[in-house]
Amino acid sequence: MTHPVDTHVGNIIRQRRRLMGLTQQQLAEQVGTRFQQVQKYETGKNRVSASRLWEISIILEVPMSFFFDGLVESTVSAKNKLDTPNDILSDNNALSLLKSYYSAPETHRLPLLKLARAIGGVT
C-alpha cells in the first residue's frame, strides 16, 4: 500500500513534469533511470529517495520544498476545499488552459482569471 506522502510527492512530480512539457522518458533520461521508475514515482508505488528528489527538483527547476507544498492542506476537511480533482493537471484541457494563461501577456492575465472565476462561480 502506498503512503499518502509518496502519492502526494508523485502527483506533484507528474504535474510539474507535464507543465514543463517533459515526457516520463525525458525525465528518466535526465535523472539516469528508466521511464518505468518515473511511472512508479508518480503513482507513489515507489518512494523517491532524497538524492533522487534533489536531482528531479533541479531538472524541474523547483526547490525541494515544492514537492511538499500543500501536503498539510491535504488533511484539511473537504468543506474547506474546492471541488477539484486531486491531479488537476492530468486533465489535458486544464493543462492547456494553464499554459495559455502563462503565455498571455501579464496585462491580460488578471482579466482572464476574473473571467474564469466568474464562469466557475468561484469568488
Q: Write the pLDDT tens digit of every residue in 105-119.
A: 989 988 888 888 888
Give residue 73's pLDDT. 61
Give residue 76's pLDDT. 40
Q: Write the pLDDT tens digit of every residue in 18-57.
A: 999 999 999 999 999 999 999 999 999 999 999 999 999 9
- Nearest partner of 5 among 44, 60, 57, 53, judged by Cα: 44
Q: Mark out the alpha helices in 20-91 (DSSP H runs).
A: 24-31, 35-43, 50-59
Give residue 81's pLDDT. 46
Give residue 86's pLDDT. 59
The continuous run of DSSP H or E covering 110 comes out as: helix 106-120
User: Where do we find the cell 514543463?
Assistant: 20
> What integer is the mean pLDDT of 2-7?
89
- Return the C-alpha cell found at 6: 509518496
- Return the C-alpha cell found at 97: 488552459
Q: State percent of the chain over pLDDT 90.
A: 52
Q: How open is the CA angle 107-15-78, to the nearest 5 degrees?
A: 90
The continuous run of DSSP H or E covering 17 comes out as: helix 4-19
Amino acid at residue number 38? V
Give residue 2's pLDDT. 82
